[in-house]
Structure 1
Amino acid sequence: METIKLQAHVGQDGALQVTVPEGLRNQDLEILMVFQPVVVQVSEPLPSAPKVLEGPEALGYSRYFLEEVVGGWLGEPLERPQQLEFEEREEWT
């Protein structure tokens, strides 16, 4: 899997045109799209301006941090306790 970050403009008709790199042409791809509006930074943030979130690299993590840690629990195996019987309740009217 390869992650590519693009910045594109959606036209008035709602169409988004994406051009893939040459190495990905002429093949079937599974594509996951995450939409996030671009926040334009100003020299001095306005009091009501939304906070720009930093990526994992800015926080000192690898860009592949989540892929590396998901499913990486090395402690005791987690077990779900036996579920209790469903409580019979009076009909509510």
Structure 2
Amino acid sequence: MDSIKIRTYIGDDGILQIQLPPEVANQELDVVIVFQPLMPKSSQSPTKMPEELGYSRKFVEEVIGSWEGEPLERPEQLPFEEREEIQWPTS
């Protein structure tokens, strides 16, 4: 299975044209189309989407997508706690 990622503009007619490589000519294919409208650059967030950071769609849908409520915020981190070193008996 191969995949092709393209960015294109769809006009008023709603027609999408896709040029496939010549090696797939004269074959029956299963084709899956997933589309996501792009936000205008002025309203784009500087943060990356989870998929852009390498998280799988399943992870996003089942873990991140399941949160309902206020946005999660990381609390301020406390200073590192220094502990005494363990002294093991030598005899």
TM-score by length of 1: 0.44
Q: Identify, as 1 or 2, the structure richer in helix.
A: 2
Q: Which has the larger radius of gyration?
A: 2
